[in-house]
Amino acid sequence: MILTEKLTISFNRFINNIVFQFIFWCLSFVFYIFLVGKDNIFELYLRVTDSKSEYLIIITISIITAFLFSFIDVIFTDKVNRLFPIRFVLFIKSIIYFISAFIIVVVISIPLNRLLLINNYQDLLLEFPKINMPLFRFLVYFYILCFFNGLIKEAVKKVGPSNFNSWILGLLNKPCEEERIFMFIDLKSSTTIAEKIGHKKFSHLIQDLFNDLAIVDNYDGEIYQYLGDGAIISWSLKSGIKQNKFLQSFFIFEKLIQKKHRYYKRKYNLIPQFKAGVHVGKVMVLQVGKIRRDISYNGDTMNTAARIESKCNELKSNLLISAELYNLIDNKKDFTFKSVGEIQLRGKRKAIGIYRVKLK
């Protein structure tokens, strides 16, 4: 089951990346034609292609580019990037971008029937278009767009896909109210672990754990923020309650850690455990900051979820949820719920009902 979950994450990311790349490069190539008019490579080399529509060629090239860049992203994973200096990775990526541009030019300029007849690199060089000003402009334009491409992807990772769309459309300039589920999840005994294995090894442990936490994406969970050795995960009320995805995500994450217990035991000499508190309520979502901007959720719901998580050790439970959230759950057959009564949380005037949750 865990393998299926991890394959689902990889597959969804790959498909989403292809869709993003296709839309990005389609718009980029159309904008390129708008900028240079008739003096563009699609128009100049159109006479040596079988197609008579430059926009059909753009769609074809965009599909090729989308797959090409998606495979580049598959190669340069976070784990691979950690193995090499960042300057070396950027240098290799720059070379790959230039090679990608030349591949695209070859596909544009050489019809498929002639491309299949090429037997060696010398024949390919004869077919390759001469370096002139239109071609040079395209290569420079393509290279600049490569960096914009990476910038957008990093921005999406920073604020999350849904928030990114709202941010681009300017919907977050004015605070708006949403009803959401928030989970505060935290590594147990993190201080003791850090003292035991050292701060350098502890940092690698956090990286590995947060990479595994990406499994919540299969359950519509958005990682809103990382907090040292913990994280805040958010769901819209509709998606979180549906099939109890907010509960499933926590237990599938626990199963993933248990499945990889040999890896964590061998590398860090421990098996990590997590605790979490979950609450539901209305929050204000807004864009904050002027020099450095960020997407922020504000409201008592966030504070309550954090306070519930802080009670996990005292109540000897890995997962606690509020009574308010418990009452919204329709199907409770896959989980065991036990009320611990009304608990007075720090900073709260009124006591709040809390439930322990275990997987049956």
Q: Please give the residue that has the higher pLDDT: either 297 or 192.
A: 192
**Can you give the pLDDT at residue 49?**
46
**Can you give the pLDDT at residue 264?**
92
The answer to whether residue 168 scores a pLDDT higher than 50 is yes
**Can you give the pLDDT at residue 322?**
93
Domain range annotation of the chain: 2-159, 175-359
Long-range Cβ contact pairs of 267-270 (< 8 A, separation 24 or more): 267/204, 267/205, 267/208, 268/197, 268/201, 268/205, 269/197, 270/193, 270/196, 270/197
According to CATH, the superfamily of the domain at 175-359 is Nucleotide cyclase, GGDEF domain (3.30.70.1230)
Half-sphere exposure of 146 (CA within 13 A, CB side): 22
**pLDDT confidence of 48, banded at 50, 70, 90?**
very low
**Can you give the pLDDT at residue 281?**
92
The answer to whether residue 318 scores a pLDDT higher than 50 is yes
Summarised one tens digit per residue, pLDDT across range 181-190 is 999 999 998 8
Q: Is the pTM of this model over 0.75?
A: no
The answer to whether residue 99 scores a pLDDT higher than 90 is no
| Residue-by-residue DSSP string for 304-356 | HHHHHHHTTTTTT-SEEEEHHHHTT-S--TTEEEEEEEEE--TT-SS-EEEEE
**Can you give the pLDDT at residue 326?**
92
Single out the residue of 243, 274, 245, 269 nearest to residue 257, CA to CA: 274
Q: Please give the residue that has the higher pLDDT: either 38 or 178.
A: 178
Single out the residue of 282, 275, 305 nearest to residue 236, CA to CA: 282
Beta carbons within 8 Å of 260's beta carbon, 6+ residues apart: 212
